[in-house]
Amino acid sequence: MKNFILTVLIMSSLKIVAQTDPIPKAPSSSLDLGLDIQSRYIWRGIQLGANSLSAQPYIEFSSGKFAVGAWGAYNLGGTSIGNEADLYASYSFSDAFSVTVTDYFFPKGGNFQGYFPYNAGHIFEAMVAFAGTNSFPIGISIATNFGGAIKYDDGGDEKSAHSTYVELSYNTTVKNVELGLFTGAVFADDNGYYLTNGSGLINIGLSVAKAVKLSESFSLPVNAALIINPDAENIYLTFGFSL
């Protein structure tokens, strides 16, 4: 009888410990990949892919708050203009706040710039982003170049440009359609990286996205955007879909 009581007490203690001190779970990991097809490659109010469709593949591995990935853009019109192959790493402090470092690389067709060593084809950028919350649904992102190919002449001394891009955004959903409003400006645009004379309002627009049901088991995500670049006096209407 004593042995039975002792066994019950031990099992009860183990149960209490298991309830109060659970074994920590390993951070969840995932691998995502896909392909976007866009009618034009427009980046921050600037057309980079000439007058052609752009294929934009991506792959991303995430584990917990960390993510690393690769993103590319390839002109489908038979020219190397707008081709791009980027690497990035990001850390999310919360659902709303994150930091990202990106290595932009721009190969140039037959005059391909070697990937190694890191030479004139690379531009490095750091970005801080706040996605907004229910109580404050305004997103804010600040991105600054901190090294790489973009240079300017400072009295005979060549220095890296540090253009800063700031964007405000608002996103909502109306009847299964995702709507986004955004406006972006550049400051201290050294060497005209954003094609301005130092600063300017370059990116104002409206984006929409939804899933179009094609069958009982398949829906195609589609998107469109109206983009205005007041500084360059340009306007774009784009359409795309994701696979």
Q: Which one, of 139, 184, 204, 191, lies nearest residue 163 by Cα?
A: 191
In a domain, 8, yes or no: no
Domain count, the chain: 1
Residues 6+ apart with CB under 8 A from 207: 178, 179, 180, 182, 223, 224, 225
Q: What's residue 216's pLDDT?
A: 84
Q: What's residue 26's pLDDT?
A: 58
Domain hosting residue 182, numbered range: 29-242
In a domain, 172, yes or no: yes
Q: What's residue 15's pLDDT?
A: 38
Report pTM.
0.82
Tokens of 129: 């982003």
Q: HSE (CB half, 13 Å, CA atoms) of 62?
A: 12
Per-residue pLDDT tens digits of the chain, which is 243 residues long: 444 333 433 344 433 334 444 555 556 899 999 999 999 999 999 998 878 899 999 999 999 999 999 999 998 887 777 789 999 999 999 989 999 999 999 876 555 667 876 666 788 999 999 999 988 999 999 999 988 776 655 666 666 668 899 999 999 999 899 999 999 999 988 778 899 988 999 999 999 999 998 888 899 999 999 999 999 999 999 999 999
Q: What's residue 112's pLDDT?
A: 61
CA distance 216 to 57: 26
Provide the CATH number for the domain around residue 115. Answer: 2.40.160.40
Q: What's residue 10's pLDDT?
A: 36
Task: Specify the amino acid at residue 28.
Answer: S
In a domain, 126, yes or no: yes
- To the nearest 10°, report the CA torsion of 24, 26, 28, 29: 170
In a domain, 177, yes or no: yes
In a domain, 9, yes or no: no
In a domain, 222, yes or no: yes
In a domain, 218, yes or no: yes
In a domain, 6, yes or no: no
